[in-house]
Structure formats: structure tokens, C-alpha cells
């Protein structure tokens, strides 16, 4: 029989497992940064680090929304189409009609939030499967985007509009500030409010939540509404970044958002996630893209590498957490 005094790297096996289970994702991130930095020292320079954070802002916002949906035990596949919708609305209102930018953004956000609400009502009130609901509304949303734009790309060269992405505040690019604000708000929402607790309860055990007086319909609906709002915000940033309104953007963006959630320890079974984990997950995805560009790896291989890293990360998490369960 095996003795239970087995040691790994000088610490007791159980302690090691627990540490890895809890901080494994952070360790992977640090390992990745070290390896890439050794090969290409320029990777670790502050300017590039800011660059990475700017790049992840869009996926980060979507991932936080996705995380809420997954934590309730669901998923939201509309996020990519929502990006396109907000982009086309901006294209028409700002590009064609010359509307005030702030007002146009507000209208865009209202539209995506309304579709989020619709998702929520269908899922929570009518008890439909989140996958099926959002797979369908995704088609509707993208269709609307195509109708609005008539399939044409609209150039948004307005300097004020482009400033949403490219301006800096105290030397920090604005997208990082948006992300930081969202991270803080989501952290508070998930871990410091009644709503957050209800989200975890609904995802953890919906029957126990009902029997504890949680309004499940309200909680779930609000979650999907927030996903709509956050993907709308991501859409505005994205449109400002590219300077063009298009109806074909955001395809596959749900994948990166889901990947960030999973890397960050969000459980697909529901009821488990952390705000900090989602941020780490998004940063890892950003480092994969940015690091591989640095190493000169072709984008086809980047996609493969992303898949492999996600599987490895989840596998590691499973192995490390097996004993703790």
C-alpha cells in the first residue's frame, strides 16, 4: 500500500493538490509569461502588457456576461450577434444620420439589453433550454443587424467616436479602464450582493433555491439581461476599434468568452465561478494570442494551441481537485 507521506516539490501531496486546485490557473499564466519572455524578452515590457490588456477588454466584457449565464447553469450564444447588432445601429445612427455619439451608444445598449431580457424571459419564464433559445435568438439578432445595415459596411471615421477605443486616461488606454470598472462592478455584484448569492444558489441547486424563497425567474432573467448589456458595451468598443460598422463581426466570439470562463474555473454544472477567475481566464486567452504573434506563430496554429491549452487547463483542474471533492 502506498504511504500517505508522498511529497511533491517538498510539500505534502494533499497540500500541493489543494494549492494547485485553487491557484493552478494563476500558476499556468505565470508559467506562460515566463516561457514567452525567455524566448522574446520584449513580451514582458510594460507597453506590450498594456497592449494585451487593451486587446482583452472586448473578450473580458463578454466573458463576464457569459460567466453569469454559465453560473446559473445556462449559456448565452447570442453575444457575437449582439456585437454585430450594436455595430450596425451605430453605423446607421452615427455614420449615416450623424446622431450624437452618446445617444447612439445608449440606443445600441438598449437594443442589446432588450434582447438579453428576451433571452432571459424565454429561458426563465418558459423554462426553455438556454442553448436552444440563444442559438435561435442569435440568428434573429444577426438578421436584424443585416437588415439595418443592408449588408453594407459603414465607415465610422469620426475622430470622437474612434476616441472611445484609442484615447488614454492618465496614460492608460480607455478600454483597460472600461474593463477595470466592469471587473470591479462584477466582483461586487457576484460576491457582495444578494443577487450574486441568488445566482450561485440557482446554479448550485435550483430546487433548494426555490425552497429557500429565491425568485428564480427574476434572477435568471436579470443574468441574461446583464449579458446583453455587457455584450453591447463590447460591441461599442469593437466598432470604435475597427472604425467600421459591419453585420458580420463577432462570429465565434462566444467561444473565446466561454474559454475564458472555463479557464477561470467556472463550472458548466453551474453554481461555481469567481470574478477573479474570469479575469485570469481572459488574460490567459489574451496572452495566447499576443504571445503567439510575438513568437511568429501562424494564426491557424494559434487556434489549435488555444484548444489544447483549454483542455490541458481543465484536465489539470480535474486531476488536482479530484481528492478535494
Give the residues lining the site for other proteins (CB under 8 A): 1-4, 14, 18, 188, 192-194, 197-198, 200-201, 204-205, 207-215, 267, 271-272, 323-325
Residue with smaller CB distance to other proteins, 83 or 223:
223
Q: Tell me how far, at minimum, the Cβ of 105 lies from other proteins, in Å.
A: 25
DSSP state of 271: S
Tell which residue, 83, 104, 84, 66, has the closest CA to residue 233: 83
Is residue 244 helix, strand or coil?
A: strand
Residue with smaller CB distance to other proteins, 14 or 96:
14
Q: Tell me how far, at minimum, the Cβ of 204 lies from other proteins, in Å.
A: 3
The radius of gyration of the chain from alpha carbons, rounded to an integer in Å, stands at 21
Residue with smaller CB distance to other proteins, 37 or 267:
267
Q: Tell me how far, at minimum, the Cβ of 258 lies from other proteins, in Å.
A: 20
Residue with smaller CB distance to other proteins, 152 or 324:
324
Tell me the torsion sign for CA atoms 171, 290, 273, 60. Answer: positive
Task: List all residues 6 or more positions away from 258 whose beta carbon is below 8 Å from its beta carbon.
Answer: 66, 70, 75
Residue with smaller CB distance to other proteins, 49 or 185:
185
Q: How buried is residue 150: exposed, middle or buried, by Cβ count under 10 Å (0-12/13-18/19+)?
A: exposed
Q: Tell me how far, at minimum, the Cβ of 215 lies from other proteins, in Å.
A: 6
Q: Tell me how far, at minimum, the Cβ of 229 lies from other proteins, in Å.
A: 17
Residue with smaller CB distance to other proteins, 135 or 208:
208
Q: Tell me how far, at minimum, the Cβ of 178 lies from other proteins, in Å.
A: 22
* Three-state helix/strand/coil letters over 77-140: CCHHHHHHHHHHHHHHHHHHCCCCHHHHHHHHHHHHHHHHHHHHHHHHHCCCCHHHHHHHHHHH
The Cα 109–Cα 229 span in angstroms is: 6
Q: Which residue has the cell 427574476?
A: 218
The Cα 313–Cα 149 span in angstroms is: 40
Residue with smaller CB distance to other proteins, 141 or 262:
262
Q: Tell me how far, at minimum, the Cβ of 189 lies from other proteins, in Å.
A: 9
Residue with smaller CB distance to other proteins, 43 or 198:
198
Helices 13-39 and 275-294 cross at an angle (nearest 10°) of 30
Q: Tell me how far, at minimum, the Cβ of 197 lies from other proteins, in Å.
A: 6
The Cα 235–Cα 84 span in angstroms is: 7
310 alpha-carbon distance from chain centroid:
15
Amino acid at each position: 500500500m502506498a504511504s500517505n507521506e508522498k511529497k511533491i516539490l517538498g510539500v505534502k501531496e494533499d497540500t500541493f493538490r489543494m494549492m494547485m486546485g485553487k491557484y493552478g490557473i494563476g500558476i499556468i499564466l505565470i508559467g506562460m509569461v515566463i516561457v514567452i519572455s525567455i524566448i522574446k524578452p520584449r513580451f514582458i515590457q510594460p507597453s506590450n502588457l498594456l497592449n494585451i490588456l487593451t486587446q482583452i477588454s472586448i473578450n473580458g466584457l463578454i466573458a463576464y456576461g457569459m460567466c453569469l449565464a454559465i453560473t446559473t447553469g445556462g449559456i448565452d450564444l447570442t453575444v457575437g450577434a449582439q456585437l454585430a447588432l450594436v455595430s450596425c445601429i451605430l453605423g446607421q445612427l452615427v455614420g449615416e444620420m450623424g446622431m450624437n455619439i452618446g445617444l447612439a451608444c445608449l440606443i445600441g445598449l438598449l437594443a442589446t439589453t432588450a434582447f438579453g431580457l428576451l433571452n432571459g424571459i424565454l429561458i426563465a419564464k418558459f423554462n426553455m433550454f438556454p442553448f436552444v433559445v440563444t442559438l435561435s435568438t442569435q440568428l434573429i439578432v444577426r438578421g436584424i443587424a443585416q437588415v439595418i445595415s443592408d449588408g453594407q459596411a459603414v465607415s465610422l471615421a469620426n475622430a470622437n467616436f474612434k476616441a472611445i477605443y484609442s484615447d488614454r486616461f492618465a496614460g492608460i488606454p480607455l478600454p483597460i479602464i472600461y474593463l477595470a470598472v466592469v471587473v470591479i462592478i462584477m466582483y461586487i455584484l457576484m460576491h457582495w450582493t444578494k443577487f450574486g448569492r441568488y445566482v450561485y444558489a440557482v446554479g448550485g441547486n435550483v430546487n433548494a433555491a426555490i425552497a429557500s424563497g429565491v425568485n428564480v425567474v427574476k434572477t435568471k432573467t436579470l443574468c441574461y439581461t446583464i449579458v446583453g448589456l455587457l455584450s453591447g458595451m463590447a460591441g461599442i468598443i469593437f466598432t470604435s476599434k475597427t472604425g467600421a460598422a459591419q453585420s458580420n463581426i463577432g462570429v465565434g466570439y462566444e467561444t473565446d468568452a466561454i474559454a475564458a470562463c472555463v479557464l477561470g474555473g467556472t463550472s458548466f454544472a453551474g453554481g461555481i465561478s469567481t470574478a477573479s477567475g474570469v479575469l485570469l481566464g481572459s488574460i490567459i486567452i489574451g496572452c495566447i494570442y499576443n504571445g503567439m504573434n510575438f513568437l511568429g506563430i501562424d494564426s491557424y496554429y494559434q487556434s489549435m494551441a488555444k484548444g489544447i491549452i483549454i483542455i490541458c487547463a481543465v484536465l489539470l483542474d480535474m486531476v488536482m481537485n479530484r481528492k478535494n471533492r
